[in-house]
Amino acid sequence: MKKSLIALAMGAFVLGFVEFVMMGILPVVADGVGVSVAWAGNFITAYAVGVCVGAVMLVVGRRVPPRRLIIFFMAICAAGNAISALSADPTMLLVGRFVAGLPHGAFFGTATLASKMLADPGREGQAVATMVLGQTVANMVGVPAGTLLANAFSWHAPFVFATVWAVAAALLIWKFVPALDAIPDAGLAGQFSFLKAPGPWLILAAVLLGNTGIFCWWSYVSPWLQHMGGFAEAAVPMLLVLAGAGMVVGSTLGGRTADLKSPGIAAAAGQTLGAVALLLIFLIGRGPVPCAALMFLVSVGLFFVSSPQQILMVEVGQGGGELLGGACVQMAFNGGNAIGAQVGQMVLNTGAAYNWIGLAGVPFSIVAVVLLIVFARRFERRYHLQATGRA
């Protein structure tokens, strides 16, 4: 495995950690800043909004070589987490979460392009999956460790860890990622020209709706495990290791499926798995064994789609919109994250049991599957031939 891809994975690790650790420590943070668990969902939303806003950085950074951009994004990540670590009230934590989210989409858009450039021919999907693997390992190891840190010391501790890691990742990227050429400058308007076609919008709508469905439930996975699974709070970190293992499995399978079949087919398969798992959460999501198994299944589906969807958007953005296309996936992903957290919050505020937030996500996920199937059948081959220069 190339050192350059490992260095990029280190950057993906800290962003994955920061994005998902809040789900594991939500009750602890809520208690620490004096808000309800439902209100604390706003900390998840703040990060997601930051992701959407931050992608705009690529509009002005299109002429900057990828390695410099990625190091800059790690610096912003460190700053945002430092603010979170120093927070003394909900407002300051909201600001810290927003700033920490700013580089997320821009990083993954740029790192996806860099991974494809560094990949051996025919292994682009696996190269992107290697970079994304950092995000999945963050969920398998980092998020449980962050939850343990929060429970053992303070809810501030995970954000201190993230600040230090972001600085270390920036140094590794500087050392091991070679200088790569910036994408051809298509001008300010040229970056957005790929969005005139329907294909990219089908992908982005699928990402947005698919993640809205998943995050209706995933945003509240920690209290769900306790209320529906009957697990003690102390058991949640180990259960999140299981979830992280599912994400690693999903990311690996998604990358290989994208290379063997196509990214569109792989993304549709992953979204289908997520939709089925959410329905099962509503129907049989009670007790320790079903809850643990279903959490694993959702985790597989959640990251099965990750590298295929990133590749799809880089391909549809060919001609100057590659970075923006890759970033748009993360904007849609975290837009779905934000909406899903709010939908789940509305369901819980009615007094409904935690299994109902799984059912609330099913319609969103089903529509995502349909959109990806339409894209794969009508548009994918044309975009792939253009991206490989065979059109």
Buried b (16+ CB within 10 A) or exposed e, 157-169: bbbbbbbebbbeb
Instruction: Count CA within 13 A, CB hemisphere, residue 209.
Output: 22
Q: What percent of the chain has pLDDT over 90?
A: 40
Residues 218, 298: Cα–Cα separation, whole Å: 9
What are the domain boundaries of the chain?
Answer: 3-387
Only one residue has tokens 């945002």, namely 80
Q: By three-state DSSP, how is residue 197 classified?
A: coil
Taking 3-state DSSP, the helix, strand and coil percentages for the chain, each rounded to the nearest 5, stand at 85, 0, 15
Q: Supply angle C-alpha 40, 218, 137, rounded to 5.
A: 105
Task: Please tell me the predicted confidence (pLDDT) of residue 273.
Answer: 94
For the whole model, what pTM was predicted? 0.77
C-alpha closest to that of 326 among 67, 58, 34? 58
CATH-assigned architecture of domain 3-387: Up-down Bundle (1.20)
- Output the pLDDT for position 176: 92
Spans in the chain with pLDDT lower than 70: 1, 61-62, 121-122, 182-190, 319-321, 383-391
| pLDDT score recorded for residue 188 | 65
The two structure tokens encoding residue 6: 């490992």
pLDDT at res. 391: 47
